[in-house]
Structure 1
């Protein structure tokens, strides 16, 4: 595990700044550029170390991110996937061009191929296909659109989280989740984690709708949902919470700390994604490990195979997960 000092040295900032940024300290005034250096340093130090840059120029690959550069800093899941893609492409000798949500995509046509990260509407997918036919999506199932994609498993880890809570004697289980929309304001389907969570607990006659709260996957949303839960369910709080991403969990921890509710003694938490911030919260966050580096690398390898193939057969690659237990859960 990289230390705060390691990250500070790589990002060229103080230890205190690193700690506050990784905990999404709202009172800290720091530029997006500095935040990006810190988050990218933290993520890169958690990656495997056998990077070998290939200096043979094999062409240009574009990476399209559904977030703006600023929004990406609020959810390290997507930043981590992007870094995994870039690392693999550089190893393979490709030049990389980044496009964020608010960048014009008109030059995508002259890239050898495009790796698209995040979630998009039908209209956006149609436009991307017109600009470049060599596409691979990451974190969205695009097989129905005859486009290959790389996904993570959701059903198995949700069951693992619930089973862990129950094996620890915690049967009053709630969840914080989020609702997403594309950048052109098309509402997306319900978070599959909450769908599996609800289904699995209903099978055991143990689902409590009052403990399933929906926000928007940001630290501030996690903070607000915990505040709402403490207000509305003060006499009927759950014993454990599954939180759909790490950013929300950081905000939830802050709200619980302010309310003097001890984690995990009074409320156990397990989040999802296991980005680098989980190791630097207090207490450290238990989280479902999503292998974002592998997702990015698999997307890069899949695209390169498509470029070399005479016939492209769309496929889905699903990457497994594992449960990483730390101090926020019993």
Structure 2
């Protein structure tokens, strides 16, 4: 089903560039474009460019949830960020909801099918999954625990990414208000726990730092692994330079889960903004849009203490080398 045991995770916000996806493909991995936060036209343009490489690839979609009901809490949180907004000279917008151009993106992927589509933040109606499959697309759910896997299988997906809580960036948990499931010490253990209940191939993701981690995940029953953080510092990555630098900086000794930037749980390097806003309300994507000007201004100012520095727990293994070299090291580690 998959052309490689190594998948480069889709990282939204400009990190998973076309160059990263194609370079991973050329190095015998499988790259994924991240369609989150993009228009359908921009997604289509990237698909067209990557398709020209004649390499297998995939596209990741954010499945939209319902609008937030806690509007007063979101506005109060926005107001509390006023002093920091003044510091950066930006105006924070009102919380707003959108579906991330979901309908248009599905129409595009049905008109111009891609080999793989992965889904994050839940599942769409079964009819959408079947329609993509009818076009020849392999549909992959992203799940974090057993009940989500069972729901995904009932929806008829072809495979499932098992995302451990150690993964960087947004948690794919279906219920954003649910606490992280930390019962499994690592993704290999989580995979082994879920394998007896799996009727589809499983892909392990989260906290993978090298060949031994990958071997353990595959030995536990995964058919492939998905790695994101290890590609962040590559020249092909679209991560901003302060983000890349922070991954190797001793001033950031740990990662933590936070809702402070987007209103949805996500793991990143713990910085001042995260520490000062541990009680941020739920509300995605509303809060994502509220903090967007702050994050952009902090990035422009080179201030990592107010940026969303998404990273998994294995971030110290990320090196400033090319994506092909990362793939080569990880794939070579499978033979040891």
What TM-score do you get using the length of structure 2 for normalisation? 0.26
Q: Which structure has the larger Rg over C-alpha atoms?
A: 1
